[in-house]
């Protein structure tokens, strides 16, 4: 499977008004792609397109809601009518609720699933016909490390992200079976410093935050752009996420104990937040048209793990060195015993 260079691509970033989606759109445009951005917040989209065009890029926007399929399909159709074809679809739209499961209403739980999981499916349904017509392309969906390892206070969010991974795995196999030249990538960020936490509904009494260590959104955008040119099955964004997944694989019970003891406090700031404060669960809220959130003073701008994900040769060299070292240590241990 061969994907076009980014400078030759037409890219849709769905969920682009702020945070990871906005940073991703800016990076694609900076690399020469023609970009169509979509979200519910028109003010955020207008300012994003203005920023791209001010920097010499080419972009257009369409207001859309991930929950409504016809609205999502309109974005894909608009991209093709505006720029002639579609090469990459990045689905970043998401919402969340910070509350215990027993505090969560049926309507809230359903809404998170509809936006995050059903919305991602709508994006794929809208994009695939156009990716086929182009002769192939890339579909990248932002799930989360919580698609592998759940956190307390996020039962609905974790459910939606686990669902995304299952959906993408099934879709990927179907496309492989028919030989379709479409790459399907599951992007799994760790805790990312975006306005997401300013907009999420919370019943904690305080503003939520990503569990540390925290990374800036460029760490996620870097791997998304890599996947747009290099077919990639799944990729972690932020080494902490990969470490947590590996710990879960080694000993789920230890991760359960760790999450039960420290997971709640790790997601709480000291800033009071009224449960009735405006949030984006059911309606967009304006004023957050930026890439980063309120944690820039502690957020990491680089991830060695992410760098390795986008440098496969160096990754192979390091793996080889690690295996060689392990073999040497085992051999020495046997020699000493004998």
Catalytic residues, by residue number, are 157
CB-neighbour burial class of residue 80 (10 A; exposed 0-12, middle 13-18, buried 19+): middle
* CB within 8 Å of 125: residues ≥ 6 apart: 69, 72, 73
Q: Give the span between the Cα atoms of 93 and 13, in whole angstroms.
A: 9
Give the whole-angstrom CA distance, residue 134 versus residue 2: 12
How many beta carbons lie within 10 A of that of residue 255, not counting itself?
18
Task: Return the number of other C-beta atoms located less than 10 Å from residue 230's C-beta.
Answer: 17
Contact 224, 187 (CB under 8 A): yes
**Which 3-state string (H, E, C) describes the chain?**
CCCCCHHHCEEEEECCCCHHHHHHHHHHHHCCCEEEEEECCHHHHHHHHHHHHHCCCEEEEEECCCCCHHHHHHHHHHHHHHHCCCCEEEECCCCCEECCHHHCCHHHHHHHHHHHHHHHHHHHHHHHHHHHHHCCEEEEEECCHHHCCCCCCCHHHHHHHHHHHHHHHHHHHHHHHHCCCEEEEEEEECEECCCHHHHCEECCCEEECCCCCEECCHHHHHHHHHHHHCCCCEEEECHHHHHHHHHHHHCHHHHHHHHHHHHCHHHEEEEECCCCCCCCCCCCCCCCCCCCCCCCCCCECCCHHHHHHCCHHHHHHHHHHHHHHHHHHHHHHHHHHC
């Amino acid at each position: 499977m061969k994907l076009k260079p980014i400078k030759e691509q037409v890219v849709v970033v769905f969920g682009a008004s702020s945070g990871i989606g906005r940073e991703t759109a800016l990076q694609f445009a900076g690399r020469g792609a023609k970009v169509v951005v979509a979200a519910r917040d028109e003010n955020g989209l207008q300012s994003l397109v203005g920023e791209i065009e001010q920097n010499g890029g080419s972009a257009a926007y369409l207001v859309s809601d991930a929950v409504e399929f016809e609205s999502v399909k309109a974005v894909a159709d608009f991209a093709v009518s505006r720029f002639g074809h579609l090469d990459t679809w990045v689905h970043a739209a998401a919402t969340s609720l910070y509350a215990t499961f027993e505090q969560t209403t049926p309507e809230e739980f359903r809404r998170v699933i509809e936006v995050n999981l059903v919305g991602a499916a709508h994006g794929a349904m809208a994009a695939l016909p156009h990716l086929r017509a182009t002769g192939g392309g890339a579909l990248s969906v932002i799930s989360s490390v919580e698609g592998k390892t759940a956190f307390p206070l996020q039962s609905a969010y974790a459910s939606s992200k686990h669902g995304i991974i299952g959906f993408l795995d099934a879709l990927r196999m179907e496309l492989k079976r028919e030989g379709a030249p479409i790459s399907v990538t599951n992007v799994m960020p760790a805790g990312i410093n975006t306005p997401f936490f300013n907009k999420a509904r919370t019943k904690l009494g305080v503003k939520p935050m990503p569990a540390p260590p925290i990374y800036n959104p460029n760490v996620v955008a870097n791997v998304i752009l890599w996947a747009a040119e290099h077919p990639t099955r799944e990729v972690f964004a932020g080494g902490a996420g990969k470490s947590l997944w590996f710990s879960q694989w080694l000993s789920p019970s230890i991760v359960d104990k760790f999450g039960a003891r420290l997971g709640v406090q790790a997601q709480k700031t000291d800033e009071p937040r009224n449960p009735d404060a405006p949030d984006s669960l059911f309606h967009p809220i304006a004023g957050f048209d930026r890439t980063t959130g309120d944690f820039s003073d502690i957020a990491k701008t680089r991830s060695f793990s992410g760098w390795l994900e986008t440098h496969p040769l160096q990754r192979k060299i390091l793996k080889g060195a690690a295996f060689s070292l392990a073999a040497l240590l085992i051999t020495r241990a046997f020699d000493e015993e004998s």
